[in-house]
């Protein structure tokens, strides 16, 4: 179904979880702009809470996280997080309504269940979330290696309905090669616990492009994920950038599959999961037809934010925690990444946003085109953007990877692996920042 055109995938491109991307953030935008944006919000908002701790650090991981092996460090971070929750909430008008809460990391279950419940209680109190009526949809990222019965009980009590398990691969040898050893029984037990706790939508993160990974390895992991009833599957290509992420130097890069093999793995995953009845969401995410993500894809309401593809329609996402990013229609802003400086700023009762970008009308116009291409495979393109991008898109058009339909640019199923590369031609910032991104597949 897919054809391999290496020359059209050779240039690294962003994942476009925002536009402009975080690579364009500058230090001239920060706490002042965030405070103003918060004070002007009175509609629906989503919250993202970053917990930058894991019991063990996986070698492939590019997240802002550290080992949760020092109680004092974890405690002081959580104290700062509580302070930030109060500071942000007091700036929001009472009319603002929280419709979603997502917990990510690191791994939120890298802290104790009691500490997690305290965070949920603080969010409920400070943001005026009602215990009756329509509650926010709550989701959480979880590490199966530290998911015990106590955590499952808390997940049920809090009312978390969506969870994502960091599976990556079921193969024992590959787990050793990437520093994430978690026997299959851990994943099976975690799945059973989460279902018993009331989780209705369960995602498995899987990876291709791992050292010494074969197509047979990948197929086995896909088969196991389907057999365990995953409602969503995110199939990511491993991005090996040891010059940016020092921990990746522990991975044997001589054993990494080449670009063409990676492409075949992505194609295998797509064809297998579609054959199993999953709805493709982009080229590397999949959801069962009854899942909200699949329904958003089929209805044309799919969106993209810093958590990736989402059915969330809230126009504002507020990030809480070190390195978390907030998104407003006219502003993108990121919190201080360094946990020590993050704590220091909050000890002084200061918002920690320290870099970002003000979205211009042109940014928003181009962002709509990019989001539409990635989420719906079709975008209305105004004439001036056509004139700019058409010559650059000619190789993709000639290969049948995209098509012109009146004023729309359309990406057919065969062009999905090239969607980010195609969308990038509408990004005027990309010329100076390609070295910061990973390969398209």
CA–CA gap between residue 3 and residue 80 (Å, rounded) = 50
CA–CA gap between residue 146 and residue 69 (Å, rounded) = 13
CA–CA gap between residue 14 and residue 10 (Å, rounded) = 13
Which helix (H) or strand (E) covers residue 320, if one does? strand 316-320
What sign does the dihedral 236-241-247-250 (CA atoms) show? positive
Q: What is the pLDDT of residue 437?
A: 60
Is 335:321 a contact under the CB 8 Å cutoff? yes
Phi, psi dihedrals of residue 377, rounded to the nearest 5°: 70, 15
Phi, psi dihedrals of residue 121, rounded to the nearest 5°: -65, -40
Q: What is the pLDDT of residue 436?
A: 53
In the beta sheet, which residues pair with residue 168?
A: 206
Burial (CB < 10 A; 0-12, 13-18, 19+), residue 372, is: buried
Q: What is the pLDDT of residue 435?
A: 46
All residue ranges of the chain with pLDDT < 50 are: 433-435
Is 401:222 a contact under the CB 8 Å cutoff? no
pTM above 0.85, yes or no: yes
Q: What is the pLDDT of residue 290?
A: 96
Q: What is the pLDDT of residue 40?
A: 95
What is the bridge-based pairing of β-strands 331-335 and 353-358?
Answer: antiparallel
Closest CA relative to residue 311, chosen from 420, 419, 162:
162
CA angle 148, 233, 272 (to 5 degrees): 130
In the beta sheet, which residues pair with residue 305?
A: 308
> 190-214 in b/e burial notation, b at 16+ Cβ within 10 A?
bbebbeebebebbbbbbbbbbbebe
CA–CA gap between residue 336 and residue 353 (Å, rounded) = 6
């Amino acid at each position: 179904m897919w054809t391999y055109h290496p020359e059209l995938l050779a240039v690294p491109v962003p994942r476009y979880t925002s536009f402009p991307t975080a690579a364009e953030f500058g230090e001239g935008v920060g706490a002042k702009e965030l405070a103003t944006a918060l004070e002007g919000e009175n509609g629906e908002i989503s919250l993202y809470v970053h917990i930058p701790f894991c019991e063990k650090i996986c070698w492939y991981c590019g997240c802002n996280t550290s080992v949760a092996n020092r109680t004092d460090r974890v405690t002081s971070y959580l104290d700062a997080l509580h302070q930030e929750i109060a500071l942000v909430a007091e700036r929001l008008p009472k009319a603002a309504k929280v419709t979603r809460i997502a917990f990510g990391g690191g791994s939120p279950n890298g802290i104790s269940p009691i500490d997690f419940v305290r965070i949920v209680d603080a969010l409920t109190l400070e943001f005026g979330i009602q215990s009756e009526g329509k509650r926010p949809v709550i989701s959480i990222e979880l590490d199966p290696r530290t998911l015990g019965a106590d955590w499952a009980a808390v997940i049920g009590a809090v009312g978390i309905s969506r969870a994502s398990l960091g599976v990556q691969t079921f193969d024992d040898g590959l787990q050793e090669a990437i520093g994430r050893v978690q026997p299959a029984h851990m994943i099976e037990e975690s799945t059973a616990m989460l279902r018993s706790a009331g989780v209705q939508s369960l995602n498995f993160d899987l990876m291709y492009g791992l050292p010494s990974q074969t197509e047979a390895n990948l197929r086995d992991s896909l088969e196991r994920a389907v057999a365990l009833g995953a409602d969503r599957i995110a199939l990511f290509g491993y991005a090996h950038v040891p010059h940016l992420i020092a921990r990746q130097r522990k991975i044997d890069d001589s054993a990494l599959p080449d670009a063409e093999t990676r492409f075949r793995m992505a194609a295998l995953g797509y064809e297998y999961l579609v054959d199993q009845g999953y709805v493709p969401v982009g080229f590397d995410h999949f959801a069962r037809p009854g899942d909200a993500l699949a329904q958003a894809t089929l209805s044309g309401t799919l969106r993209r934010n810093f958590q990736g593809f989402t059915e969330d329609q809230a126009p504002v996402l507020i990030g809480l925690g070190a390195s978390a990013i907030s998104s407003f229609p006219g502003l993108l802003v990121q919190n201080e990444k360094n946990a020590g400086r993050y704590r220091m700023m909050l000890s002084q009762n200061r918002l920690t946003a320290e870099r970002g970008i003000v979205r211009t009308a042109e940014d928003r116009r181009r962002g709509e085109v990019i989001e539409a291409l990635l989420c719906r495979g079709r975008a209305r393109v105004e004439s001036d953007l056509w004139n700019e991008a058409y010559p650059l898109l000619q190789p993709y058009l000639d290969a049948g990877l995209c098509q012109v339909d009146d004023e729309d640019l359309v990406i057919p199923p065969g062009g999905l692996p090239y969607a980010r590369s195609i969308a990038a031609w509408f990004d005027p910032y990309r010329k100076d920042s390609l070295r910061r991104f990973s390969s398209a597949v």
